[in-house]
Each structure stands twice: as structure tokens, then as C-alpha cells.
Structure 1
Amino acid sequence: MSELRWMHLNKDVVQPWAELTNLLAKVDGTEEYYEPEDLAEELEETGMDPAQDTWTVWDGDRLVAFGQLRVGFTTQEDDTVRCQLDGGVHPDWRRRGIGRELMDKMEQRARDLNQERNPGLPGTLRAGGGLEGSSARSMLHARGYEEARYFILMERPMPGDPLEVDGEEFASPTVEDEEAVRIAHNAAFEDHWGTAPMTPERWHDFYAGRPMRPQFSSISRRDDGAVDAYVLISQYLDDELYVDLVGTIREARGTGLASRAMARSIELARGAEGIKVLGLDVDSESPTGATRVYERLGFVEKHVTAAMTRPL
């Protein structure tokens, strides 16, 4: 591998980074597409140090592989810190040991960073295993990772059939709602697998990020400003919208609040010019039975991917 150059991600390489990311999304069937501007924002996330937490591999002037590491600031429901490993290798450069070396570097950095950031707290390595039979899943198995959860990509064609919506109990989120929605999100997801409370700083990265589309999002806001339920929509492609987060605080579950909020967001999306698809990923073992709700709203399963983990 002496002919390859190892460097790090930076804003000067977001275009080839996006091109490789989108090629992998197509070739590996995950359909996780990104614009260069969205990837550039990832380099400025709270806690991200591109010079230590990212890697690139170049063959001449061609980007052939990349890696990203994110280590959490709070513990998940199992009292471990999530250490998320992302990346990929161009199909033409696979089976040359690049992926193995990338994983070695990311795992070692995860150990060092978690010890520095969260002294004494155990960590869990997590990586996307892709579709059944993928090369990523085979490689992760060989490194001791196991399937921990399955996530279903569901899509609703747009515009699709209209839904009856009583929109008076909902509003589109504003800048002023940021903290209230964060509090609601942390409460709603405290019993969900693989999630940890979002700090105000990390939440701001997401809530104020370029992909966020508040005009299609919905929240149920009380008179005192507290939020009981929310649907947050993002956009990564010109003709698609994506449901990033849906949640209801435990006290409001069973009231149909999230379902009605989702229906409102669907109706808002139906009126958007050029939008062909509304997508979302749902935990196949969601404690709220979310899959059934989405099916009633017109979503259909497209494929299933695996989240794979290993103790740090």
C-alpha cells in the first residue's frame, strides 16, 4: 500500500468526498446520499477534530476511501458511550487491506478519545453493516462485530393520497423552540436502543444544520412552550425529503399525537414542488410500534440494514 497517500478530511475535499459517498450509496444499495455542503458541516460538528477523527486514502489525485469517527458525550441506555465509525472504500480498491487499516485507526482513536472525553466509562463501537450480504458486514464480522439491531428504510411516494389533518394543534418549529424540542427528544428516546441524551451543543449542530426543513416539520407545543411530540424533516436531495426524527414524550404516548403530527408533515410535503419521495428509517424493534403507524400513513418497506456493534 506504499503508493497510497493517507491524509484527513477537510473542506477542500468535500466534492470528491461527496462523489465517493454517493457512489457507495448506489453501489452498496444504502441510498445514503449527501451534498458537499452537508458534508462540510459535519467537519464543524461539536467535538469533531478532522485532523484526528477523520481519514482519507488517495491513489494519486483520486479519493478511494475515507473514515469518520464520532465519540459521544453522554451514555446510551446501556450505560456505554457510543463510538460511531463511518466510512467506505471505493469498489475498485476493495480487498487490498485499506478497510482493515481504516478500522484499525478508527478503533484505536475511539479508545483514546473515549478515555480522554469520558474517563472511566465503557464504550461501544458501532458501524453500519449495510444490506444482507454486503462486503461491509463480512468485514465487520471478521473483526468481532455482531448485528445488534435492524433498521427499515420506508418510503412514501409523493404526492400520494391526501390525508385528513387537524393542524390546529401543531406548529412548525422555530429557532425559539430549539431547547424545548431537545428536551422532548431526550425524554422521548430515553428508552430507545442506541441513543443517548443530546447535549445543547450537539443538538444545535443538528437543529440549525443546513439540511433541516422546519417548513415541513411539526411540533405539538403546550401553552408554556414545552413540546410533547415532534416530527423533524430534513432534505439531502433535491427531489426527496427525509424524516430525521419522530418522538413523543412518554406521558403523551398512546394519544395518536405523533401520528397526527406526521400526517401534518406529510400534507406539507405533498404540496412541495418537485418532491417525489418522503423517506425514513425505523428501528425494527421500536418500543413505540412505529412501523405500524408509518404503514397506516402510506409508507412501505424498501430495504433493511444492520447496525453492528462490539464492546470498545
Structure 2
Amino acid sequence: MHGLTWRPLTREDAQAAADLLNAMESVDGIGEHYTADDTLQELVDPYADLERGSLAAFDGDVMIGFMKIRYKPAAQEVHRVFLDGGVHPGHRRRGIGTRLVEAGVAAAQVLHARHHPGLRLAVDVHRPGHIAGLAELMRSRGFAPVRYFRRMEHPLRDVSPVRARIEPWSAETDEDFRRVRNAAFEDHWGAVPMPPDMWRNKIVNQTFRPEVSFLFRDADGTPAGLLVTLSWDADTEATGIRDAHFMVVGTLPEHRKRGIAGALLAHALRAAAEQGYDRASLVVDSASPSGASGVFEKAGFVPKTRYIRWALEP
């Protein structure tokens, strides 16, 4: 690590971070590509305290590793913070990843003490299971796998139309979308309500696709379910595949087992096909309380990449 410069991330690092992530993708092959706009969205996250909760390593002007902590605006019993990061393939096996993970855990403790000192802390890392050396690094720092997720995909061809009381996103219904999302995920592991600033940063940003995002209303007009789609231009440019990623699919608990999620999926698949998307994708918790895996498989989604949620309770 001789000759490297270490400092917190800043908003001016968006392009350097995108270059690093794209270099990692060239080796790790997880299907994620970035523009500077994409990484800037992460750097301006209202729940990412860059001064206290980030660290980047530079070789000259080139970012060759980073870590970033995102804390939760609200929590019950356990405050689960996310530790994200990575190391350039040409600089791995030099101890940089270990230093970044250790710095991340220390930063998580600082931010936890500032925001949720009365709760237990858990530091979560969410990464694909196939990345070389990741499992060894996680275990060496005391992390253990606690949850498994699957990315699922659906080719968009021969998709039939569906009849249901479903409406597209609009500025007027944006708050209905946010409220339904929060209520639908109340009983999901690790989920917390999204306040408006988090909703704007994580959902209604430059990757949001309103034309493929829908709200399901009950017979009396009450919102009962939603589907929100994001799409990354950098992925399309790198792969030639236009992917509609169903980022949020949820149904209010009292409305489950009535086919709402299936209707939303069928409607969104049709809309995505009509909009010229080549594929739809989503990520599902293998232990979802709503039985989402079965719903998605019934809709025609096929399991692909497996993700592991590693956790440490320091």
C-alpha cells in the first residue's frame, strides 16, 4: 500500500468512482455498469455521511478502492447499516480490502452512536456470492452469511396484456407510491420506512422509469400494491440489453394472496415490452414473508445470480 493516498469520498469523485466500479465489473461480471451520474446519486445520498462514513484509496489520480457507509433514518431493535465498497482488480491481494472493511466497521460504529445509540448495531455487506476472495475477506473480519437473495430475469417476448385497475406513476400519485411501499415492506427483514428524501434519492432519480411503474387500486380506490421500475443507461450501453429492473414489487399485507402482485407483474412486463425493453429483472429475498419467489417464478422469471448478505454485530 506504499504510495497510496487515503481520504474520505467527496461529490467530486463521481467519475473516479464510476471508473473504478466499471473496472471491477470487467472482472467480477455482476452485470452492473456506471456513469458519473449514477455514482453521484450515491454520493449525495442523504444517509451517507461521507466525512465520517467513507474512505477512498488513490494511486495518483486513480481511485483504486473505496468504502462507504449508509445508515438508516429509522430502526427498531437493530440498526442495520450498509457497508459498500470494492478494490480495483489490479490492486487486490495487497491488504487494501481488509483496511477498507476495518475502516467501514469503525465508521459504522461512529454513525450508529450518532443516530441510534440505544439499539444494537449490525453491519451488512450485500454482494454476489461468486466474487473471488470475498467470502474469505468477510469471514476473516468476523462477518457471517445471514440471508440469501436471487436476481431473476424474464425475457420480454410473447407477453400477453392484462386487465386490472392499474395506473401508471404520476407526480400526483408519487406519495401514494411511497406510502404503499412503506406499508408493504413493514414485515420484511431489514426494511425500514423510506422518508421523502430517501425516496427521491433511491427511487425517483435519473434511473427511474415512470412509464413502467404502476399502482394497483382496490375496488374502492384504495392503493393496495405497487411496482417500481429502474433502468441504467450504462448497462444498456455496455451490454446492448435494455433491462427493466423491477426495483420494488409490493402488496399491502391485508391484500396479499389475491393475485395483485401477479397482475402488476403481467401489466409491467407488457408495458416494458411495448416500450422496447429486452428483459425484465428483479432481486428477491429467498425468505420473503410474502412468498415472492413463487410469485415471480409463476410470472416466468428465472433465477440467475445469487447474492449473499453478510453481517457483523460488533
The TM-score range, normalised by the shorter chain, is over 0.9
Mapped contact 1:178–1:204 kept (Cα < 8 A)? no
Mapped to 1, the partners of 2:292 and 2:129 lie a distance apart of 21
Q: Could you tell me which residue of structure 1 aligns to residue 187 of structure 2?
A: 191
Measured after TM superposition, the shift of residue 224 of structure 1 is 7.6
1:41 has 2:52 as partner: no
Structure 1 residue aligned with 2:206: 210
What secondary structure, in the 3-state scheme, does the structure 2 residue paired with 1:305 have? Answer: strand
What corresponds to 2:4 in structure 1? Answer: 4
Q: Does 1:297 align with 2:299?
A: yes
Q: Does 1:179 align with 2:182?
A: no
- SS of equivalent residue, structure 1 residue 153: strand
Structure 1 residue aligned with 2:271, among 268, 272, 284?
268
SS in structure 2 of the partner of residue 73 of structure 1: coil
Shift of residue 276, structure 1, vs aligned partner: 2.0
Q: Is the 8 A contact 1:178 1:207 kept in 2?
A: no
Amino acid at match of 1:219: L
Q: List per-residue Cα deviations over 1:210-234 (Å, max 9, x = no partner).
A: 1111110111135886421000000
When structure 1 is superposed on structure 2, of 197-206 and 229-238 the one drifting more is 197-206
Deviation at 1:133, TM superposition (A): 6.4
Partner SS for 2:231: strand
Query: Which residue identity is paired with 1:301?
Result: P
Equivalent position to 1:125, from 123, 126, 147: 123
- C-alpha separation between the residues in 1 aligned to 2:6 and 2:222? 48
Encode CA deviations 1:50-101: one digit per residue, 9 max, x unaligned: 233222111122221111110112115xx21111000100112111111111
Deviations along 1:170-205, one digit per CA (max 9) or x if unpaired, are: 011122223222221222111111212222322232
Q: Distance in 2 between matches of 1:287 and 1:29?
A: 30
Contact 1:73-1:118 at 8 Å conserved across structures = no
Aligned to 1:244: 247
Separation in 2, partners of 1:83, 1:116: 13
Name the CA shift for 1:133/1:106 in 2 (closer, same or farther; >3 Å). closer
- Residue 18 of structure 1, CA deviation: 1.2
Q: Is 2:209–2:230's contact at 8 Å kept on the other side of the alignment?
A: yes
SS in structure 2 at match of 1:144: coil
Match of 1:230 in 2: 226
Partner of 1:210: helix, strand, or coil? coil
**For the aligned residues, what is the CA RMSD?**
1.9
| Contact map agreement 1:243 1:278 (CA 8 A) in 2 | yes
Query: In structure 2, what is the equivalent of residue 148 of structure 1?
Result: 146
Which residue of the partner structure matches residue 239 of structure 2? Answer: none
SS in 2 for 1:72: coil
Mapped to 2, the partners of 1:107 and 1:226 lie a distance apart of: 43
- Summarize the alignment of residues 271-282 of structure 1 with structure 2, pairs less than 5 Å apart: 271-273=274-276, 275-282=277-284
In the superposition, relative to structure 1, how do residues 52 and 226 fare at CA in structure 2: closer, same or farther (>3 Å)? farther
User: Matches of 1:13 and 1:196 in 2, distance apart?
Assistant: 29
Say whether the 8 Å CA contact 1:115–1:121 is kept in structure 2: no
Aligned to 1:165: 162
Report the Cα distance in structure 2 between the residues aligned to 1:141 and 1:225, rounded to whole angstroms.
50
Q: Which residue identity lines up with residue 17 of structure 1 in the other structure?
A: A
In structure 1, distance between residues paired with 2:82 and 2:226: 25
After TM superposition, the score normalised by the length of structure 2 is 0.92
Task: Quote the Cα distance in structure 2 between the aligned partners of 1:33 and 1:133.
Answer: 16
Q: 1:28 is matched with which residue? A: 28
3-state DSSP of counterpart to 1:175: coil
Distance in structure 1 (CA, Å) of the matches to 2:217 and 2:44 = 30
What amino acid sits opposite 1:72 in the alignment?
K
Counterpart of 1:17?
Answer: 17
Distance across 1 between alignment mates of 2:209 and 2:297 = 23
Gaps of 5+ in 2: 237-241
Change (3 A) 1:213 1:133: closer
SS of 2:206's equivalent in the other structure is coil
TM-score between the two structures when normalised by the length of structure 1:
0.92
State how far apart, in whole Å, the 2-side matches of 1:181 and 1:165 are.
21
Equivalent residues of 1:30, 1:131 under 8 A apart: no
Q: How many residues align?
A: 307
Offset from partner CA, 1:128-162 (integer Å, 9 cap, x none): 2422463122100111111111111111123x221
Contact kept, 8 Å, 1:130 with 1:137, in 2: the verdict is no
Letter paired with 1:285: A
